[in-house]
Amino acid sequence: MLTERVLDAATDLILRAGYGATSLGAVAAAERKVLRRELLEKLSSVENPDDCDGADNTTVGDVQSLVTEIAEVALSDVLLRLTQRAPVDVPVALIAAHPDDETIGAGASLHLFRRLLLVHVTDGAPRRLQHTAATGFVSAVSYAEARRRELKTALDIGGADPELAILGAPDQEASLQLADLTAALACLLRQHDTTCVITHPYEGGHPDHDAAAFVTHRAAARAHEPEILEMTSYHAEPDGGVATACFLPNGPFATVIALSEAEQARKRAMLKCFVSQHLSLDQFGTGREPFRPAPRYDFTAPPHSGMLHYERGDQRMTGARWRELAARALA
């Protein structure tokens, strides 16, 4: 019967996602983690909708209702609203390492959040003088101020009006303050009554990105455990390249939002506001914005095998050192 075939298709997706659900009722217990896009793609392979066994009076309308029910149960409310490009009215916090990371990961979607708290873990200004001088600024203070101005201009173009907060770690040094940053963020999340948090994945792209992921997961556990979603940034590819707009294959399926031409144009305009970062931003496209439920991470283990992206540059941080700092913060 077609109803059973639809259920089988949905169950297969859930099993593939690693949650072990075996019935529609178990989908809810799986924390609503199966993604609508994957489900609908699977269901599209079900053929001959008219060959239903009439014994249970199943109709195509019944099947469509069932598909809707499974999709709504399977997908986070926030993710569902994002796929529909509909306003998100619940309190959402987006935790980004630096001003511009929110635009890279979610710039075309920021205007949808009606009660958004945008928190930056760092001020975006390295304390190493050569980094500051290379961007044309005379001090870290002037550099940080410029990045905040760039951010506000980008948010205006994007039609977003979030509450802004900054935890204040120096750029490239957030991993040195994990415990203090966690305490500060937990306080902000409680005050905001956050029900959903969006942040970076733990992927070894930048030590501050990984610090933002660590701090978010730890703070959420102290603040009534809001749902944690992830946006993309970047990580190392095995061939030495850099992967953007995608996640490592270490968690639930991603909901990939294909941006319209108008949304892409708006996001490009937002990215152009970050003049101080123009050299690094050229690598990021504007065609899509993937999101996914955050997996449970072991922050004392490497995010992937091989060299991390930030170990390839002059960040003065290694994966082993970062994990040592994470272990201390967890103790």
Query: How many domains does the chain divide into?
Result: 2
pLDDT at residue 322, rounded to an integer: 98
pLDDT higher than threshold 70 for residue 17:
no
Residues 248 and 203: beta-carbon distance below 8 Å? yes
State the CB neighbour count (10 A cutoff) for residue 294.
Answer: 21
Q: Is residue 183 located within the same domain as residue 268?
A: yes
Q: Give residue 8's domain range.
A: 2-75
pLDDT higher than threshold 60 for residue 32:
no
How much is the average pLDDT of 263-270? 98
Q: Is residue 146 located within the same domain as residue 212?
A: yes
pLDDT at residue 80, rounded to an integer: 85
Residues in Cβ contact with 316 at an 8 Å cutoff, skipping those fewer than 6 apart? 172
pLDDT at residue 252, rounded to an integer: 82
How much is the average pLDDT of 280-287? 93
User: If you ran DSSP here, which 8-state letter would residue 314 be given?
Assistant: T
pLDDT at residue 131, rounded to an integer: 62
pTM equals: 0.80
How much is the average pLDDT of 239-265? 92
Residues 172 and 207: beta-carbon distance below 8 Å? yes
In a domain, 16, yes or no: yes
**Cα four-point dihedral sign 305, 309, 314, 320:** negative
pLDDT at residue 54, rounded to an integer: 39
User: Which stretch of 62-66, 175-179, 283-287, 320-324 has the lowest confidence by average pLDDT?
Assistant: 62-66
Q: Is residue 94 located within the same domain as residue 48?
A: no
Higher pLDDT, 66 or 141: 141
Q: Is residue 200 located within the same domain as residue 164?
A: yes
User: Which stretch of 42-46, 139-143, 162-166, 318-322 has the lowest confidence by average pLDDT?
Assistant: 42-46
Calculate the alpha carbon distances from 214 to 45, 52, 254 in Å: 39, 49, 20
| SS percent in the chain: helix, strand, coil, step 5 | 50, 15, 35
Residues 95 and 209: beta-carbon distance below 8 Å? no
Q: Is residue 70 located within the same domain as residue 192?
A: no
pLDDT at residue 138, rounded to an integer: 79
Residues 303 and 230: beta-carbon distance below 8 Å? no
Q: Is residue 39 located within the same domain as residue 102?
A: no
pLDDT digits (tens, 9 = 90+) for 177-204: 999 999 999 999 999 999 999 999 999 9
* Cα–Cα–Cα angle for 281, 162, 33, rounded to 5 degrees: 80
CATH number at residue 140: 3.40.50.10320
- Name residue, tokens 């199943």: 58
pLDDT at residue 255, rounded to an integer: 85
User: Which stretch of 6-10, 28-32, 205-209 has the lowest confidence by average pLDDT?
Assistant: 28-32
Structure confidence at residue 6 as a pLDDT band (50, 70, 90): low
* Phi, psi of 259, rounded to the nearest 5 degrees: -80, 140
Distance separating alpha carbons of residues 9 and 242, to the nearest angstrom: 34
pLDDT higher than threshold 80 for residue 63:
no
60: exposed, middle or buried (C-beta count within 10 Å: 0-12, 13-18, 19+)? Answer: exposed
pLDDT at residue 136, rounded to an integer: 76
